[in-house]
Structure 1
Amino acid sequence: MKVITSSSTSIPKTPSVVTIGTFDGVHIGHQKIIQKLTKKASENNLISIVLTFFPHPRMVLQQNSDIELLNTIAERKAILESLGVDYIYVKAFTKEFSELSARDFVKTILVDTLHVKQVIIGYDHQFGKNRSANIDDLKKFGTEFGFDVEEISAQDVEDVAVSSTKIRTALKEGDIKTANAFLGYDYFINGIVVKGKGFGKKMEFPTANINVEETYKLIPQNGVYAIASVYNEKPIYGMMNIGMNPTFEGKKKTIEAHFFDFNEDLYDQHLKIYFLDRLRDEHKFNSVDELIAQLRQDKINAQQIIANRNAQTPL
């Protein structure tokens, strides 16, 4: 798979089949579209292209937008690559681009740049300045410029009954099971391990403090979670607290992962942390001993979740 941008010199001139969207999360509904895309490309000797946008349009068009995304742009690219797409065209979304008319968008991007022969798109897709054009307009442009439009019907969409918004809501409520079911994979974050205050080590639960650099990445609701990661190409499991460390009068939100039966130095390492399930809310305990007792129980609960999961779908 290759990633192309507006400034790329390697944009292919090969006829293509294209799908268009933000694709935040690349959830099971998106995956259904991608399957159609790659199948159509294979059947018609075309290259498959996902046209996506970054930043998210709401980040550009709505002042003080507080939207949080399921994927960073790097994560979105990686997931799309795993689905067998030939090319991802990441179009920079700017205010200037948002002013482009629907016809100019089709002519300059789809036809002149991507050499489109087929477009696969949802029945409710809107595009162009002020989102003024719809799929009927796209079909008319297809007749004018010589490409076909395959519409993803309302029935197909309703069969999946999932959206990025629903997943964001589930994660903000700590409902990991629902989010993972809608995504079709375990929700994850990527971050660098940084030094913390060392409270976990003093309590027999040393933690890796995760710094997620992308401020727009959605972090699930505060609480304690069963987690997994990969280190030196091997799966490792543990539990993670997201929150303010109220027992220690914490002033700043932290993400702290404790891995079971693991004593490697992780400082400055990049980790990808998968959320398996939520264990409990974050609490302020009356004493450190009370917190340690709860952490021991959390470990038992997390290990049970991990054992049950690995019996069915190992990482």
Structure 2
Amino acid sequence: MKIYHNISEFKAVKNAVVTIGTFDGVHLGHRKIIERLKELADECGGETVILTFFPHPRMILHPEDESLKLINTIHEKAALLEQLGIDHLIITPFSRDFSNQSPEAYIRDVLVNTIGTKKIVIGYDHRFGKDRAGNFDDLLKLSTTYGYDVIEIPEQDINDVAVSSTLIREALLNGAIELANNFLGYPFFITGKVGRGDQIGRTIGYPTANIMIEESYKLIPDDGIFSAKVIVRGVSHKGMAYIGSRPTINGITRNIEVNIFDFDTEIYGEEISMQFFNYVRGDVKFDGLEGLKIQLAKDRDDVLALLRDQ
């Protein structure tokens, strides 16, 4: 997959089959659109193109609202789309100027003149242009003028999987990991570098890797203990993850840590990826480290049972 970080970098391709959207989560609903995109490209000997935006439009249009957290970072999203076999990913820097284009200017200048769109696939509720005034009818009306076909994914097709990025975010924030994973079609994951903690876990037999997330907009699930798998140097390991402020030692900052089972390799400074499978329990303050140690032994047993078939 070729990635372009500005639409000006893209050179029009023959028979470009295009879809547009933020695609946060690259979930099962999105995959309905992507499947159709690839089918059409195969039929016409074309190439698939996804036009997405970064930052997320809400971050630019409503900067005062810091509540939006995204399921994927832009790098995670790109990796997921590459796995699905997309040919071209255009990551357009979203700005107020970009959002102020009229629907026709957007179609003419971006979709036709720059990308060379021959077919465009959109969801039933896709909106674009200034004040999100453009819709399927505008694309259809101008298709003859600019020489492209429009394929709409009906509401029923997308609703068959009853999923939205908003629903997945809510599930993750409420600890409903299995529900979120069912909607995503893959385990929710985070990616970050391993930083040095205060190594208290080592003193009670449960050393942890502290995962540092650079992107402040990345959604982090609710506090607690989770069953997890950790990808280190391309190899998957089972483990139990912890998110919280470590109340037993009167911690202040919110940490993301994982105890990787049967693992003693030095990985400080390395990037790892952690997949979440189950919410095991909430964050609890214990009467000292000995009480925490006893509970962690129970948690490990619970996690191993949950991951037995994973």
TM-score range for the pair, normalised by the shorter chain length: over 0.9
Q: Determine the C-alpha separation between the residues in 2 that align with 1:9 and 1:126.
A: 24
Q: Determine the C-alpha separation between the residues in 2 that align with 1:200 and 1:138.
A: 57
- Alignment RMSD (CA, Å): 1.1
**8 A contact 2:169–2:219 mirrored in 1:** yes
Q: Determine the C-alpha separation between the residues in 2 that align with 1:176 and 1:209.
A: 20
Aligned to 2:151: 150
Q: Determine the C-alpha separation between the residues in 2 that align with 1:109 and 1:219.
A: 34
Aligned to 2:6: 6
Identity %: 43
Aligned to 2:178: 177
TM-score normalised to the size of structure 2?
Answer: 0.97
Aligned to 1:44: 44
Q: Determine the C-alpha separation between the residues in 1 that align with 2:5 and 2:173.
A: 32
Q: Determine the C-alpha separation between the residues in 2 that align with 1:175 and 1:58.
A: 25
**8 A contact 1:15–1:114 mirrored in 2:** no
Q: Determine the C-alpha separation between the residues in 2 that align with 1:65 and 1:41.
A: 39
Q: Post-superposition shift, 1:10? A: 4.9
Aligned to 1:98: 99
TM-score normalised to the size of structure 1?
Answer: 0.96
Aligned to 1:53: 53
Q: Show the 5 A alignment for 1:108-147.
A: 108-147=109-148
Q: Determine the C-alpha separation between the residues in 1 that align with 2:283 and 2:133.
A: 46
Partner amino acid, structure 2, of 1:217: K
Partner amino acid, structure 2, of 1:42: D
Unaligned stretches of 5+ residues in structure 2: none
Partner amino acid, structure 1, of 2:236: P
Q: Determine the C-alpha separation between the residues in 2 that align with 1:70 and 1:242.
A: 16
Aligned to 2:193: 192
| Structure 1 segments of 4+ aligned residues over 3 angstroms from their partners | 7-10
SS in 2 for 1:166: helix
Q: Determine the C-alpha separation between the residues in 2 that align with 1:142 and 1:8.
A: 23
**8 A contact 2:17–2:37 mirrored in 1:** yes
Aligned to 1:312: none
Unaligned stretches of 5+ residues in structure 1: 310-315
Q: Determine the C-alpha separation between the residues in 2 that align with 1:205 and 1:6.
A: 45
**8 A contact 2:226–2:240 mirrored in 1:** yes
SS in 2 for 1:160: coil
Aligned to 2:30: 30
1:52-84 CA deviation, whole Å, 9 max, x = no partner? Answer: 111000000002222100111111111001101
SS in 2 for 1:74: helix
Q: Determine the C-alpha separation between the residues in 2 that align with 1:89 and 1:13.
A: 13
1:158-178 CA deviation, whole Å, 9 max, x = no partner? Answer: 111100000000000010000
Q: Post-superposition shift, 1:125? A: 1.1
Q: Determine the C-alpha separation between the residues in 1 that align with 2:17 and 2:183.
A: 26
1:135-160 CA deviation, whole Å, 9 max, x = no partner? Answer: 11110111221111011111112111
Aligned to 1:313: none
Aligned to 1:201: 202
1:186-208 CA deviation, whole Å, 9 max, x = no partner? Answer: 00000111110111000100010
